[in-house]
């Protein structure tokens, strides 16, 4: 998969109206009215109140079986019925990054069931993960979700289940931005 740079820009313009911004762990982001998403660019618009950059690239913690399961039931982004979205920004602690890759995988899936939990909510909730730790950004991951209004409760369950896992013991900053179009 080629690397796709993406900028999430909060401000007065954008296709998504911000319904809420909530700090789950640590400090929040400044309030904004709208969110714009720019794919394939690396520079944020000057008028943005804040901008977060990430890249979509190869999967880091997914095995072949999981990859195939996810590919078989993952919907595409931009579905007309998916008028709700969430951008959840996550930074993990230095203790997380001090672990070896296999130790992080053990916590992520074998202990926490991150991928297995996510599979339960597909295809109702479309998602895309953006990596940003190596870009010098304030977060390690930008997680983007899209869903229809009738799937909002399921999305809430998904997020609650993930936040209750061992993996989330390593999260030291998380902001959830609720959106609609």
Per-residue pLDDT of the chain (181 residues; tens, 9 = 90+): 689 999 999 999 999 999 999 999 999 999 999 999 999 988 888 899 999 999 998 777 777 787 677 777 889 999 999 999 999 999 999 999 999 999 999 999 889 989 889 989 999 999 999 999 999 999 999 999 999 999 999 999 999 999 999 999 999 999 999 999 9
Please tell me the distance from the alpha carbon of residue 15 to that of residue 77, in angstroms, as a whole number.
14
Structural domains for the chain? 4-180 (3.30.70.3420)
| Predicted structure pTM score | 0.93
Please tell me the distance from the alpha carbon of residue 129 to that of residue 143, in angstroms, as a whole number.
5
Phi, psi of 36 (to 5 degrees): -110, 145
């Amino acid at each position: 998969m080629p690397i796709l740079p993406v900028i999430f820009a909060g401000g007065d313009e954008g296709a998504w109206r911000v319904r809420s911004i909530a700090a789950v762990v640590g400090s929040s982001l400044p309030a904004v009215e709208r969110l714009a998403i720019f794919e394939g660019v690396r520079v944020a618009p000057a008028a943005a109140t804040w901008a977060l950059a990430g890249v979509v690239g190869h999967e880091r913690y997914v095995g072949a079986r999981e990859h195939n399961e996810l590919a078989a039931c993952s919907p595409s982004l931009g579905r007309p019925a998916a008028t709700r979205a969430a951008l959840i920004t996550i930074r993990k602690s230095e203790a997380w990054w001090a672990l070896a890759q296999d130790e992080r995988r053990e916590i992520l899936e074998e202990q926490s069931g991150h991928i297995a939990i996510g599979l339960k909510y597909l295809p109702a909730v479309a998602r895309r993960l953006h990596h940003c730790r190596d870009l010098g950004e304030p977060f390690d991951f930008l997680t983007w979700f899209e869903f229809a209004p009738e799937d909002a409760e399921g999305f809430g369950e998904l997020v609650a289940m993930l936040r209750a896992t061992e993996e989330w013991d390593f999260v030291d900053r998380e902001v959830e931005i609720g959106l609609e179009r």
